[in-house]
Amino acid sequence: MAPSAASTSNDLQEIRSRILALRAEVLRHQQAYHMLDAPVISDAQYDALVRELEGLESCYPELAPGPSPVDQVGFAPKREFSEVRHRVPMLSLNNAFSDEDIQQFAIRLAQNLGLKAEALRFSAELKFDGIAVSLRYEAGRLIEAATRGDGSVGEDITPNIRVIQDVPKVLAGQNIPQVLEVRGEVLMRREDFDALNARQAARGEKVFVNPRNAAAGSLRQLDPKITAERPLSFYAYGTGEVRWAAGKERQLATHSEWLDALAGWGLPVATDRAAALPCEGLLKFYSEILSRRSSLPFEIDGVVYKLESLALQSKAGYVSRAPRFAVAHKFPAEEASTRLLGIDVQVGRTGALTPVARLEPVFVGGVTVTNATLHNADEIIRKGIMIGDTVWVRRAGDVIPEVLGPIAALRPADARPFVMPTSCPACGTPAVREAEEAVSRCPAGLTCGAQRKQAFLHFAQRRAMDIEGLGEKIVDQLVEKNLVSSIADLYGLTIDRLAALDRVAEKSASNLIAQIDASRSASLARLLFGLGIRHVGERTARDLALHFKSLQAIRDASPEDLLQSPDVGPVVAASIREFFGNPEQSAIVDRLLAVIRLERLDDRPAVAPAISTAAAQPFAGMTVVLTGTLDSMARDEAANWITALGGKTSGSVSAKTGLVIAGAAAGSKLARAQELGVRVIDEAAFLELIQPFRQQGAT
Ligand code: IVH
């Protein structure tokens, strides 16, 4: 806000109140994060508060004199721990959120140093999402370890650090300083976190919301035996005090040389880093790491750029709590807190009743989330979630949003437990839950409207009968107005009937009819998958089609016959028998057979199990990246081919990539491949490579 915007004394009063309120709020969140290891808002939500407060404080410095929590690093140590005074303060980093912020950072830094931005060189590293610690080695032996605390005084956690396997108790190698303080981050790897939570749940103990909280809670234990049971890891990213023995001084001129030296002495240093990058290289590093974020073994919340030259670092110096020579380039937050307004129960295609969280809209993982899965009733109990709670929501990459758990401190007095309905919310049939199963189901099958709708959507989807335009809005109306009662009825629909539906124009009605007509020549594999037989997925449907060669043969097959088809076990065989044994389903299939031609067994290449000799496999041992759009097949199908022919697919291009397949409109990955000199082929060349392996019967 510009100072001139507020002229009256009322306005100024209001701004002062806002500053004070923000300070109190920021302080509360600092306490929750640093002292209690129990944050109640995400970093992104916290950063937004801090940015607002900093903005107001810098525009109106006279309105609220006195210390501000934004100038504070961390928090004073817990009283239960002894104190450790840091000889070199443990500072924080300024954050950047956009490409422009990074450009500004480089320009400001260059101005400060009297240099051109192009002349600057940076190291680029991961920003670990853990707990900052300082490890003190004297004569190569670990003698003390401390948390950051308020930056000047931290907590003595030496016994707890000693039980972390990653942390060397004695340094290895040559030329080790007499005194070496290593700065780094303690964290928990994703797989260790999952295993710990599974163990905690099995013992009926507290489950942690995310790896950072688990790591913080495990490290700051008064009893190091508890820490020892928790799988913690450590990564070094810098140094504090360093003293060389007289006559043994070593000249390390850059930050990256220091990281190499730390690694040489046996300290864990992440290999995902880059040295001496010019400004233009920083954003590339950012996007490369961002694209691999979810496949890293631990969580990171961004990347960090640091001026390489140590001489220039000290020339640039510090501003209040952070260095001028470094910046954290943050990633979009994958977690945020929001209110759980209610829990709806959705009915799936197979009748599974799934509780779904209705949330106050929250921006997380790059989108606004209003719903998130809760999986099943047991999961809600295990996580201790109540309606009205403020909960943590996670959305990572393209994975569907998930509710992680409640924030106990924010539970309102009127929070209420969720009760799983005992009957289907769509049709009222009493729900059943089999002993071994986690989910309740509506047993009504296609007589349940909700299941019927799902059956239509399943039948029409691209991987099944591929009827474009038969989406949720039309299916809802068709089912609710009783225009169709089974999938066979789709083939009796007319343009007039469709055009009479709400918001369906004549043109789209006629397009839809054309699509339905086109589906009459679908392959047997697509029809089988589209029927929605429980446990018969796309691949099994394809195998069955190729094995039995006709729908009649599958209908007539005994369980023993069915077991002869690849990928069919007793459960699948029983499910197929049950489906065709049901007279209603059988009648629907008869009606479908009267209108569908089934000229082909399968219209997509099956991944041939016969492909075996490594010498013949065009992608043997190769990491392949698919980018852009392929005209002739879906991306997962192309990926299947690559794996079947000896390769591995990856989402990002690096020096390790063996081949890039570039479809139409390929963008940054193609550019990166060209930059790295990785071999690139187009769709036609890819089809040529796989052609010899395509099975008979496939087009
Ligand atoms: S350097 C003087 N490098 O981020 C600069 N910090 O938001 C000191 N962090 O307190 C920090 N990864 O706990 C640095 N590669 C990295 C880091 C990193 C994570 C943490 C650290 C720091 C916080 C600042």
Q: Considering only CA atoms, which residue is closest to atom 23 of ligand 1? A: 92
Q: Considering only CA atoms, which residue is closest to atom 21 of ligand 1? A: 132
Would the pLDDT of 3 be above 50?
no
What are the tens digits of pLDDT across the range 117-138?
999 999 999 999 999 999 999 9
Question: What CATH number does the domain containing 27 carry?
Answer: 1.10.287.610
Tokens of 115: 């240099």
Total tally of structural domains belonging to the chain: 5
Considering the domain architecture, whether residues 660 and 534 belong to the same structural domain is answered as no
Ligand 1-lining residues (CB < 6 angstroms)? 91-93, 125-128, 132, 185, 237-238, 304, 323, 326, 328
3-state secondary structure of 196: helix
Considering the domain architecture, whether residues 143 and 224 belong to the same structural domain is answered as yes
Last residue of a domain, one of 401, 417, 440: 440
Position 616 scores a pLDDT of 65
Instruction: State which of 50, 72, 93 you would mutate to test the pocket of ligand 1, scoring each by most atoms of that ligand within 8 A of its C-beta.
Output: 93
- Domain for residue 377, yes or no? yes
Q: What is the mean pLDDT of residues 580-590?
A: 91
- Domain for residue 78, yes or no? no
Position 606 scores a pLDDT of 47
Position 664 scores a pLDDT of 79
Last residue of a domain, one of 297, 313, 330: 330
Considering the domain architecture, whether residues 560 and 682 belong to the same structural domain is answered as no
Last residue of a domain, one of 72, 102, 125: 72
Considering the domain architecture, whether residues 89 and 234 belong to the same structural domain is answered as yes
- Say how many Å lie between the CA of residue 330 and the centre of ligand 1: 12
- Domain for residue 194, yes or no? yes
Residue 634 — very low, low, confident or very high, per pLDDT cuts 50/70/90? confident
Atom of ligand 1 nearest to the CA of 95: 7
Chain mean pLDDT for the chain: 89
- Domain for residue 639, yes or no? yes
Considering the domain architecture, whether residues 386 and 528 belong to the same structural domain is answered as no
Considering the domain architecture, whether residues 265 and 285 belong to the same structural domain is answered as yes
Considering the domain architecture, whether residues 130 and 275 belong to the same structural domain is answered as yes
Residue with tokens 């937050």: 333
- Say how many Å lie between the CA of residue 141 and the centre of ligand 1: 24
Residues contacting residue 242 through CB under 8 Å, at least 6 positions apart: 177, 179, 180, 181
What are the tens digits of pLDDT across the range 382-403?
889 999 999 999 998 777 899 9
Distance between CA 111 and CA 103 in Å, rounded? 12
Considering the domain architecture, whether residues 183 and 267 belong to the same structural domain is answered as yes
Considering the domain architecture, whether residues 502 and 537 belong to the same structural domain is answered as yes
Considering the domain architecture, whether residues 150 and 211 belong to the same structural domain is answered as yes
Percent of the chain with pLDDT over 90: 63
What are the tens digits of pLDDT across the range 339-374?
999 999 999 998 999 999 999 999 998 889 999 989
Question: What CATH number does the domain containing 555 carry?
Answer: 1.10.150.20
Question: What CATH number does the domain containing 94 carry?
Answer: 3.30.470.30
Catalytically active residues are 127
CB 335 within 8 A of CB 393: yes
Position 22 scores a pLDDT of 94
- Domain for residue 79, yes or no? no
Instruction: State which of 47, 128, 182 you would mutate to test the pocket of ligand 1, scoring each by most atoms of that ligand within 8 A of its C-beta.
Output: 128
- Say how many Å lie between the CA of residue 93 and the centre of ligand 1: 6
Considering the domain architecture, whether residues 375 and 424 belong to the same structural domain is answered as yes
- Domain for residue 513, yes or no? yes
What are the tens digits of pLDDT across the range 302-315?
999 999 999 999 99
Position 294 scores a pLDDT of 87
CB 467 within 8 A of CB 519: yes
What are the tens digits of pLDDT across the range 140-176?
999 999 999 999 999 999 999 999 999 999 999 989 9
- Domain for residue 322, yes or no? yes
- Say how many Å lie between the CA of residue 92 and the centre of ligand 1: 6
**Phi, psi angles (nearest 5°) of residue 429:** -65, 135
Atom of ligand 1 nearest to the CA of 322: 2
Would the pLDDT of 699 be above 50?
no
Q: What is the mean pLDDT of residues 592-615?
A: 68
Instruction: State which of 122, 237, 300 you would mutate to test the pocket of ligand 1, scoring each by most atoms of that ligand within 8 A of its C-beta.
Output: 237
Residue 651 — very low, low, confident or very high, per pLDDT cuts 50/70/90? confident
- Say how many Å lie between the CA of residue 90 and the centre of ligand 1: 9
The domain of 373 spans 335-440
Considering the domain architecture, whether residues 164 and 284 belong to the same structural domain is answered as yes
Distance between CA 445 and CA 482 in Å, rounded? 16
- Domain for residue 232, yes or no? yes
Position 604 scores a pLDDT of 67
